[in-house]
A = this chain, B = another copy of it.
Amino acid sequence: MFYANGKLAEKKVFKDPVHKYVHVEDRLIWDLIGTAEFQRLRRIKQLGTTFFTFHGAEHSRFNHSLGVYEIVRRMIDDVFDGRPEWKTEDRMLCLCAALLHDIGHGPFSHSFEKVFELDHEEFTQRIIMGDTEVNAVLRRYDYHFPEKVAAVIAKTSDNKVAISMISSQIDADRMDYLLRDAYFTGVSYGNFDLERVLRVMRPYNNQIVIKQSGMHAVEHYIMSRYQMYWQIYFHPVTRSAEVILTKILHRAKTLHQQYYTFKHQPVHFYSLFEEEVNLEEYLKLDENIMYYYFQVWQEEEDSILQDLCRRFMNRNLFKYVDFVESKHALNNWVEISSLFKKAGIDPEYYLVVDSTSDLPYDFYRTGEEEARLPIMLLMPNGDLRELSRESEIVEAITGKKRTDRKLFYPHDLLTEDPKKAKIKEQILKLLKG
């Protein structure tokens, strides 16, 4: 068999609750799925701490990656194949980029990257280009293939069609995660009509556009997305767990820097703490490893690390109030912080403002620093028109930055222990206004 165009002797399928089946007929895809780096995605949850709020959300990035691949495969095999502007030779490039799009994610990406100043996109590049099984498989197909796939994911490729299938305002990545996250959490918001959206997509002028007759299906997709963000992804209970997680990592790093002696040496974290992570070490990290440390750190002597880990393991989370500038900022902030200290509670770890403003902001905005391609409608006369100029519902939310800031704090510490009750009462009064 000539590997490059290798088809499997018999098509394989994965039973998938979202797409019914994920179909694989190419040996290259099959082999990529079998690599250690891809299998590692089974040990990283798609939605990090969301399962604390929506208990069904225990699905992994492995799941999602297969789904993105399947959507791109359908676009190509069921819709684009045979159309004038579609280049058959792009098929494998698009499939691989779809499958490997999230390969660089670490455990609990959001918190993890923040504390250790890492970027999963960089690791995606390193995994594809470095000394890995993924790289070997891709290179077996074509010596320059890893570079090509990496460039599509990095959005530096000349192949704009491939890029827009994976990362645009209506790409396979978003379409899969909306449907998948809706399925696993059990909410109905994310259920737009994937089949209809796929059927109106077209490669056109070096990008993917939407036939105008499909505008309503795209509106529905965008509304689904809007709802999912506010109902699921930004849920304050999830963010509370994330706040605690971030503070655990922050505390452990600080202790390490202060030469604290851990009962259980965090060997997996050393290079992270020292900000010199190599690829091999990075690949060993997954959420199981993290949980292992959270488990054993419950018995550390440092009371902050111990307490935060116990909270995380037992879902004893922080409560929250809306952060109100006039109530909580400036002098008030100084006062509240100082009262926390008086009450014996370290505000650095126990008084946390979390803001989600940045995320919804970049949905349908164009022309900013990291400009996102707008969704273009292909009109019956062949013109292209930007979606929000045709859809009043989309227009209503285009470019609107919506911010949610919350103040997280350990309500139990302020109410259950009678010591310094006066101060605590005062804190609660200031927090709740």
Chain A contact residues, CB within 8 Å of chain B: 13-18, 20-21, 34-36, 39, 42-43, 51, 54-56, 58-60, 62-63, 66, 183-189, 191-193, 195, 199, 216, 219-220, 223, 226-227, 230-231, 284, 286-289, 291-292, 295, 313-316, 392-393, 395-397, 400, 402
Kindly list chain B residues whose C-beta atoms are within 8 Å of the C-beta of A284.
295
Q: Judge whether A51 and B42 touch: CB under 8 Å.
A: yes
Would you call A193 and B187 a contact (CB within 8 A)? yes
Q: How many copies does the complex hold?
A: 4
Contact across chains for A227 and B220 when beta carbons are under 8 A apart? yes
Point out the residues of chain B lying under 8 angstroms from A291, CB to CB: 43, 286, 288-289, 292
Q: Which of A230, A315, A316 has its CB near the most chain B CB atoms (within 10 A)? A: A315
Within the complex, which residue of B14, B195, B288, B314 is in contact with A20, where a contact is CB–CB below 8 Å? B195
Whole-angstrom distance between the Cβ of A392 and the nearest chain B Cβ: 7
Q: Identify the closest chain B residue to A227 (Cβ).
A: B220
> What is the CA–CA distance of A192 and B224 in the complex, to the nearest angstrom?
11
**Are B288 and A17 in touch, CB under 8 angstroms?**
no
Rounded to whole angstroms, the CA-CA distance of A295 and B292 in the bound complex is 11
Q: Hey, which chain B residues are within 8 Å of A315, CB to CB?
A: 34, 39
Contact B223 A393 (CB under 8 A): yes
Instruction: Pick the contact of A186: B20, B56, B191, B231 (CB < 8 A).
Output: B20
Roughly how many angstroms separate A402 CA and B65 CA in the complex, as a whole number? 38
- Closest partner residue, chain B, to A60 (CB atom): B58
Residues in B whose Cβ lies below 8 Å from that of A185: 15, 17
On chain B, the residues within 8 Å of A51 by CB distance are 42
Residues of B within 8 A of A216 (CB): 227, 230-231
A43-B291, A189-B220, A292-B288 are contacts. A395–B393 as well, Cβ < 8 Å? no
Task: Name the one of B17, B36, B287 contacting A56, with C-beta atoms under 8 angstroms.
Answer: B17
The answer to whether A58 touches B56, judged by C-beta atoms less than 8 angstroms apart, is no
Chain B positions within 8 Å of A183 at CB level: 17
Residues in chain B near residue A43, CB distance under 8 A: 291
- Residue A289 contacts which of B16, B191, B295, B392 (CB distance < 8 angstroms)? B295
Chain B residue contacts of A56, Cβ below 8 A: 15-17, 59, 63
Bound-complex Cα distance A325 to B291 (A): 45
On chain B, the residues within 8 Å of A292 by CB distance are 288-289, 291-292
25 contacts between A and B (CB under 8 A): A14-B55, A15-B54, A16-B55, A17-B183, A18-B186, A34-B315, A35-B314, A36-B313, A36-B314, A39-B314, A39-B315, A42-B58, A55-B63, A55-B66, A56-B63, A58-B63, A184-B184, A191-B191, A216-B227, A216-B231, A220-B227, A287-B288, A288-B291, A291-B292, A292-B292
Please, how many angstroms separate the alpha-carbon atoms of A402 and B392 in the complex?
Answer: 10
* Set of chain B residues within 8 Å of A393, measured between Cβ atoms: 223, 226, 393, 396-397
Inter-chain CA distance A54–B59, complex, in Å, is 12
Chain B contacts for A39, CB-based, 8 A = 313-315
A42 to B292, CA, bound (A): 14
